[in-house]
Structure 1
């Protein structure tokens, strides 16, 4: 970590050699071929690896169980011929069995295995964010990525050893993954100039959608052709490769980076000079509890991720049961919405920083505008799904447009923590993940209840409830959010 003396010395060097470094600093400001953008690309790869490791079990488990116990995502509301569905499952699982072992796991055991990833992750974000703020993201994120990747490689062996060991590994893996998703936000406190926060964070988080797309598209193919163990070997190996990039190339502070240019280092330090802050062992808990801008972000996070988990968990089921696509095609159709989402996440960040750097809009206006766009239009599209379900093409179009527009939120409320409390970014990011994990624990269960009550009107009620909760979170955010550093977060 750089000290105040080091920063003052650097500023003196800048003033002495101003003419020499002016053009270099301007190049560092405008160019995208920089160390900080390279950092965002590496974080993109890390998020890609973590998401594929998080979702690979849900893709592989149909191939891991015997044909007598298939996963029945569509329950009692599927309209496809039972004979056709059974033939498809028997044919698919027969191919799985030819290339990999299968296990006699009941549906209850399968549910426990799939849920075990979240058993401890509910409590992990806050301590992870706090530790990352103290010791730096390089150690925390790197350790989490390495542990999750290695444990992924051992999942096939654990499955052979027994369900208990497999569940233990999944629980540990969930904690390690939280270390990556929470700790990485403290990187940008020292690396992201205020006018580039949106684009840098959006590039990094776009790896989530990219990883989801890839695992949906190739996961089932890998299981059916070379065997389900390879879905763990391949994506665990990718995570290990990311570790090889992470440790030698990532540094917590540009002052200590060995490959950064003088111009880029000076540009980052100058832009952050007035907002320079250091993490502290103490936390202003009472002030945080009374902070309405912080509560606006937390409430919004809960409401937004309510819909996110409903769409993520039930999109394949909806495509399979309501749109009558077969199981193979439903995986591909489930992946399609993630392509425009990946692109729009990056473009939204670039647009937000352009509007800020050109002083076209104020920072708080950008945050609120992008959040409103990312909530209102997708909510309208999701509500309309029930009434356009007779048209497959229209439904698929709405499913593709919704996450693309929703990605604007990554340049809105989700990055707002960096604005109001950069000193406690990692801790508050962990706190917000407690709210998101809570939404993830409640919303799929509620969705299943509605659908079990009525297979037709249930979907309508799910979409209406999700839209209502989403809009409620938006209203709270628009009223109470701010973009200035709060008094309790200042040095």
Structure 2
């Protein structure tokens, strides 16, 4: 029989998959008939005539709300996380289902509401950490987080294809209707099957329920394991500032690969839109499968070195390799070589969910990881706005210049080398975090064992319920 807690694991990661896929609807809907390509032509098949500025606002406003997830997460942690996530699912369902109507009624209203959707969507990734803490037994939490990364990347790759297919075959409005319908169904399932307290779950076996009862009893004995957190104590965590810098740098490279490098491949190698569509899908799939692979490799790494060395290694070495890839790409003259380096870059990027920043945030303090992640991930999302602006500033060239392509190539090279420097800043932030307050860098006691003998011991109750299992040491 499949453990009941896997229902919660699946739903918390499916939120992320569907939300990531839904973000692809606005641009694909615009291309598929929502907005006229030529407003002066009455025969153009687009439904609405929007200016470039209006289109840009509609596309970008989600992320303005999304980067405020540090606020939405903190409020949810104070008010009740599960209740707020259910509310977020319902809000997303209503917004997606009514967006076509709002667009025809008032584009400005539609833009404001999409920003609200971004704000509540900030709860979905952090919900994964609350799920890992509350529903995970023994060492399951970090695997839930790895699966979160995999679903995030899968959604980013699958979304454009699903939305594009619907927009071309049955109309752009149905992409919104499908997205809203799925949000609504998931909301109902979440309300019916996932209670606030795992002990209260219906249809759970007595054996599994007993495991959660034992877990709850252990947590009640730990006064430091409170699930609420004050702003004062939050900002006293010095590693949080360094993690925020790391997250900005990490996302700067991530968004460069997904959003800016297609322009580079188009200009330097003449690759068309069809090729770039498959490029985007391939990049996201490489991220998704790499997150799964790293999640499988991590236990082996933990067995061969201390927790501290393992996490520092995974935070720094993959980032160094990512920076090296960016440094080499401008000197590669073949598209095959560039793609190979970008895939290698993505393999290293996937460590952020498997042993990297997200996993470390959970392991340092499971009870408060949802808020910590909400802060540094929210701050890090600003890289989504910064990367395009920096790219434009570095690569912009007057098209009338006779040496346009020569200068353009040189400026692209400078932008790619800048990414390499950004990776160096990320690595430096990790060592600053360690040097600043080494005492903060310890795996939380609830996730490790006090001795090797205890690690190897599997204690069972009279019902045969496993209380503790084999796991990695603390440091």
Q: TM-score range by the shorter chain?
A: 0.7 to 0.9
Which residue does the alignment assign to 2:443?
A: 484
The answer (yes or no) to whether the contact 2:70–2:375 under 8 Å persists in 1 is yes
User: Once the 2 structures are TM-superposed, how far is the Cα of residue 436 of structure 1 from its aligned partner?
Assistant: 0.9
Per the alignment, residue 43 of structure 1 pairs with: 12
Question: Which residue in the other structure is 1:78 paired with?
Answer: none
2:201 is equivalent to residue 257 of structure 1: yes
CA contact (8 A) 1:451 1:458 kept: yes
Shift of 1:353: 3.7
Q: Counterpart in 2 of 1:210?
A: 154
Query: Alpha-carbon deviation of 1:65?
Result: 2.4
Q: Tell me how far 1:430 sits from its aligned partner.
A: 1.9
* Equivalence map 1:377-416=2 (5 Å): 377-388=321-332, 390-411=333-354, 412-416=356-360
Name the residue aligned to 2:31: 62
Gaps in structure 2 of 5+ consecutive residues: 398-406, 435-440, 446-475
Tell me, what secondary structure is at the counterpart of 2:226? coil
Q: Which moved more, 1:339-348 or 1:432-441?
A: 432-441
Which residue is equivalent to 1:162? 106
What TM-score do the two structures reach when normalised by structure 2? 0.81
Alignment of 1:239 with 2:183, yes or no, is yes
Pairwise mapping of residues 254-403 of structure 1 onto structure 2 (< 5 A)? 254-267=198-211, 273=218, 277-280=225-228, 283=230, 285=232, 287-356=233-302, 359-388=303-332, 390-403=333-346
How far residue 47 of structure 1 moved from its aligned partner, in angstroms, is 0.7
Distance 1:452 1:144 in 2: 40
TM-score (norm 1): 0.78
Contiguous gaps of at least 5 residues in structure 1: 1-30, 71-89, 487-491
Cα RMSD, aligned residues only: 2.8
Alpha-carbon distance in 2 for matches of 1:236, 1:194: 36
Q: Give the C-alpha shift of residue 350 in structure 1.
A: 2.8
8 Å CA contact 2:133–2:141 kept in 1: the answer is: no
Secondary structure of residue in 2 paired with 1:251: coil
Match of 2:61 among 74, 96, 116: 116
SS at match of 1:259: coil
How many residue pairs match? The answer is: 423
Contact 2:311 2:360 in 1 (8 A): yes
Aligned to 2:413: 460
Task: Evaluate the alpha carbon distance shift between residue 127 and residue 301 of structure 1 in structure 2; reply closer, same or farther with a 3 A threshold.
Answer: same
Q: 3-state DSSP class of the match of 1:103?
A: coil
1:469 corresponds to 2:469: no
- CA shift for structure 1 position 142: 2.0
